[in-house]
Amino acid sequence: MESILLHCCCAPCSVFCVDSLRQEGIEPTAFWYNPNIHPWQEYKARRDTLTDYASSIGMELIVREEYGLRDFVVHVASDIPHRCGWCYACRMEEAARCASERGFSAFTTTLLISPYQQHERIAAVAEEMAARYGVHFLYRDFRPGFRQGQAKAREIGLYMQKYCGCVFSEEDRYQKQIQRDRDRFGGAAE
């Protein structure tokens, strides 16, 4: 059975990816590296849920512990609308580096399951990092299994987050409420 490194953004997104890779005869080793997730309690909830999930299904997990709020903000503050590019690059680089250093035949990522992420950009960045670190990027379009994986995650009681992870996506999530409050209270204080 081939073993690959599976970068995991969270446990719910991992469910379908792991199941489908195992159906192909590929045994994934989960890899946690997500310095983009904030605040700390959200980071911890996602990391711990993935740890418990991996253990429950007998999947090895490598944790690269790095709560990176300050570094994240430094890298994205000058161009918040395009923050995802840095976010994808830093995580795919670390996944490629880890796969290369630990002798995996390839790596892939659960980011490829989300219909809300920039799929083609993630794949392109992963290919670039694979070439940089001399390891194969295993491309899979996991998106057709997104709803199925989410349903199974709910069924087994996994923590289900409400935003991609960064503080700016959390703000985006509440944009309508923020605007209603501005309208109600007369805008930002000066």
Rounded alpha-carbon distances, angstroms, from residue 24 to 3, 27, 65, 144: 11, 9, 30, 16
To the question of whether residue 84 is assigned a binding role by annotation, the answer is: yes
Give dist(CA 31, CA 10) in Å, integer.
10
Q: Residue 11 is inside which H or E element, if any?
A: helix 11-23
To the question of whether residue 164 is assigned a binding role by annotation, the answer is: no
DSSP 60-123: -EEE-----HHHHHHHHGGGGGGHHHHHHHHHHHHHHHHHHHTT-SEEEEGGGG-TTS-HHHHH
To the question of whether residue 8 is assigned a binding role by annotation, the answer is: no
To the question of whether residue 9 is assigned a binding role by annotation, the answer is: yes
Strand partners for 3: 27
Binding-site annotation, residues for [4Fe-4S] cluster:
9-10, 84, 87
Binding-site annotation, residues:
9-10, 84, 87
